[in-house]
Amino acid sequence: MSNPPLHALAYVSRISAPLSRAKLNEIVAGAIEFNGQNDLSGALIFDGTSFFQYIEGRESDLASAYERICASRSHVVLLELLNGAVPVRRFAGWEMFYAESAPSGIEGLNWLPGREPSDSARRDIVASSLRFFWQSFQEKQGVIDLA
């Protein structure tokens, strides 16, 4: 019997109000717990104004996670960047990799409805954002391989 196909979801959103350290810790802890219970892995980056998240797992589990994410009052203007099949897990073993960054251009991904870039431009922006994710992840792990 084969494993169900993997899917991934990436989105960007703006915070709805300034977040305290305690609230950020609560958000990350909740994501780690939920993802661990649902065999999801992924990464979350917060730059002080915007979230960028990539999560991966079975499609049905991702749907449950996305419902939870959309219901959160911590953020607004949530825009889905990627939602589809992926060949492998990029964050295997990580219920939720979390990093904070200085303002990094994440807010540039947060397009106004009706003002989204073309599909090819969107793919390029998402790909560069995922490279940023992966680089941040590897740096945190002490593994630097930018090839």
18 within 8 A of 32, measured Cβ to Cβ: no
Separation in Å, CA 143 to CA 29, 30, 44, 137: 24, 27, 19, 8
- Predicted confidence at residue 15, as pLDDT, reads 86
Helix (H, G, I), strand (E, B) or coil at 87: coil
Name the band, by pLDDT with cuts 50, 70 and 90, for residue 146: very low
More confident residue, 131 or 44: 44
CATH topology of domain 6-141: Alpha-Beta Plaits (3.30.70)
6-31 pLDDT, tens per residue? 999 988 888 888 888 898 899 889 99
Distance CA 20, CA 139 (A): 25
For the chain, the domains span 6-141
Query: Which amino acid is present at 86?
Result: V
- Predicted confidence at residue 122, as pLDDT, reads 60
Name the band, by pLDDT with cuts 50, 70 and 90, for residue 35: very high
**Owner of token pair 């950020």:** 24
